[in-house]
Structure 1
Amino acid sequence: MGALLLANAGKHFRDPGFYRDVVPGYLCRQDPAPDPNAGDTSQGSPTPGMPTEASPIQSSPPLSSTGAGAAAQHPWALLSREEWIAVSGLLELAAAVGILLPPTRKLTATAITAMFTAFLAGHVDALVRAYGPQGTPRRRKIHAVRLPLQAPLILWAWSLRTRALPARKPGGQG
């Protein structure tokens, strides 16, 4: 589990696009679009709203617009999509370390179970969107596989709680 979490944490920073679809839109802060009149924007950046290989279609559109182009924010929209990906990568890195240290193993296994369970919302959201109007056959396949993989990960993390600390024999020997 430690090796899996460490590899996955590294992937968050090497290939953050892999995780874009599983961050629900309602968690993502809707930053205001750059002002097109504020200078030269032709520095190789893609046209807003147009997907590129490096930046796929935005997973969820803004919830609503209220005058002057400002997007309504969901109360949980604290971070941008990229920030959520980085934070979850850091959490997985911390979990990789914590699961390897015997004194913190049981607490970390419980936290990993909760983390994988929380990630279910993103996987369900991604699967629903994959079957929506902007979904593609490729995304349907990817998310149809990713969602059920969460169940064995959750069970595995939970099972590590019971094997966290070996029992000590009376008299200090063990």
Structure 2
Amino acid sequence: MSESTMCEVTVASLGLDRTSGAPVVILKEKEGERILPIWIGPGEASAIAMELAGVRFARPLTHDLFNAVVRGLGSAFVRVLITKVIDNTYYASLVFRRNGEFISIDSRPSDSIALALRAEAPIYAEEGLLETSPFGIAEGGLEDAAEDLADDPRGVSETGEAASSEEALSDYLKNLDPEDFGRFEP
């Protein structure tokens, strides 16, 4: 059995898959160019986007509440580990420290990323999950793709990728209509 190697990653961008329209968070290795695209749900995409844009609400949202509960129970959020993919499903763990003991809890990567951003905790991905070239992004890379999107008032280009500009993202979130998320039916 080979020993796994983890690589620290950061959120490089948040966008939409060009073919399916599904939200995708693109993680980029902190000290390199490889990426890890993870398809996520619209609720988690919204939670990540709001944190990236610095949008705050008077009352805590779910990920904010979770971080407050962790702190309130005397624990510290240490890091996120994105460990594997099985049948197109990514797996992650939240790592906490309490009374000198480390506790690992299974989590979806999308929720883990939203929590890590709020707690300013590092995110690590298994080396083997990282790809050498960005998918669905202009040949110039992430930076050129972000520049191409700067003129779109919603922060989303015709190609379906989100602008990395915090201002564009903030404007997009402020103009969201509840109808944009569809109708909830239990």
Q: Larger C-alpha radius of gyration, 1 or 2?
A: 1
**Which of structures 1 and 2 has the larger relative contact order (alpha carbons within 8 angstroms, sep 6+)?**
1
Please state which band the TM-score falls in when normalised by the shorter chain.
under 0.3
- TM-score, normalization: structure 1? 0.23
The structure that is strand-richer by fraction is 2
- TM-score, normalization: structure 2? 0.22
The structure that is helix-richer by fraction is 1
